[in-house]
Amino acid sequence: MVTRRAVLGSATAGIGLFSGCTNILGEIDGGEKTVVDMANREISVPNNVESLVGVGPGGLRLLSHLELTDRVSAVETAEKEQYEGEIPYNIANENEFQSKPPVGSRGGDVEYIVQSDPDVIVATTTENAKTIQQQTEIPTVYVDQGEFTGENPLIYTAWEIIGKITGKSDRATELIEYVDQIRDDLNHRVEEENDHSDVYIGAVSHRGARGIQATEIPHPVFEMINASTAVSVESQGKIDIDREVIIDADPEFMFFDRSNAENIQDDLDDGAYDSITAIEQGQWYWIHPEYHYQYNLSTILSNAYFIGKKLYPDAFTDVEIAEKGDEIYRKMLGAKVLESLEATVGRYGEIRL
């Protein structure tokens, strides 16, 4: 297969035979620039990136955030087949993604990547980035969404690097400013409220569907709304905890990923959780899936408003959850996806099983 890269290479070699043509490559493809990726690797990329692929967890999502789907030359098979209707960026770009050729399974396949002939590859695991670049000789930049925590989450750096590569720095800045605006709004709403340390978020997906005992500590939503988990454990991150710990903690509010409803139903069958205050008082609720092939930031922000409104109703009287959710998805993904998402996974609301 003859690719644009091969054509350019041949053209450059031929033109190099002529004297005084020291800047010919720059005239052909706009020259190159150097970027430093999140593994501190210096990567030379074309000044004008016309096509790219994103491989690995969150790769295509990051390109979607930066409004680059029209430049994506191929997508992972799972993005075309497994995630339809379940993940916001797939919903927003369904028709476009379905029209793209495959780039292999999760993490990409070198043969398919070469066939798609991107100018740049964005990879979200370090070893995959190194291997792909070695085997394809295509500039491969490593970025990482990381965890959404702290004043400057890693996703901000990922956006900035991709923005620099693709000429989308203004969009990266726009995203960062918008997300900071959301975080500031949430913090401002609850700053005068007593903190909630009586909350539990369960059924947090990690490496597949999970049940009640799967949680995340600290949870990114809690950082924005002055709340903390009711359970006391030493471990952090996405973890599974003993159900006795949850029962003993007796949370007053519980929130569960609606895409894991079957797992939750199975966990409830023996009645062990029935005495928990949140369940007895009907203060347990469905939220939308935050983790699916890395975290969905737009969903985390939308969930934060729903959870905040349940914990501090007086501070969120002016917020209509559906309206706010659509605003967030439209800003970050260019489309209102909430209705389609709810048609697949279900609506926000009180759990009734």
Dist CA 25 CA 352 (whole Å) = 65
Dist CA 218 CA 150 (whole Å) = 11
Count CB atoms within 10 A of the CB of residue 60. 30
Dist CA 129 CA 45 (whole Å) = 14
Show the CA angle centred on residue 125, arms to residues 123 and 129, nearest 5°: 55
SS (H, E, C) the chain: CCCHHHHHHHHHHHHCCCCCCCCHHHHHHCCEEEEECCCCCEEEEECCCCCEEEECCCHHHHHHHCCCHHHECCECHHHHHCCCCCCHHHHHCHHHHHCCCECCCCCCCHHHHHHHCCCEEEECCHHHHHHHHHHHCCCEEECCCCCCCCCCCHHHHHHHHHHHHHCCHHHHHHHHHHHHHHHHHHHHHHCCCCCEEEEEEECCCCCCCCCCCEEEECCHHHHHCCEEECCCCCCCEEEECCHHHHHHHCCCEEEEEHHHHHHHHHHHCCCCCCCCHHHHCCCEEEECCCECCCECHHHHHHHHHHHHHHHCHHHHCCCCHHHHHHHHHHHHHCCCCHHHHHHHHCCCEECCC
Placement of tokens 């359970």 in the chain: 231
Dist CA 170 CA 57 (whole Å) = 24
Tell me, what amino acid is at 329? Y
Domains of the chain (ranges; CATH) run 1-30 (no CATH), 33-167 (3.40.50.1980), 190-350 (3.40.50.1980)
Placement of tokens 């199975």 in the chain: 266
pLDDT, one tens digit for every residue, the chain (353 residues):
434 454 334 333 333 333 333 332 333 346 999 999 999 999 999 999 999 999 999 999 999 999 999 999 999 998 887 666 779 999 999 889 989 999 988 888 899 999 999 999 999 999 899 999 999 999 999 999 999 988 899 999 999 999 999 999 999 999 999 999 999 999 999 998 888 999 999 999 887 778 899 999 999 999 999 999 999 888 899 999 999 999 999 999 999 999 999 999 999 999 999 999 999 999 999 999 999 889 999 999 999 999 999 999 999 999 999 999 999 999 999 999 999 999 999 999 999 87
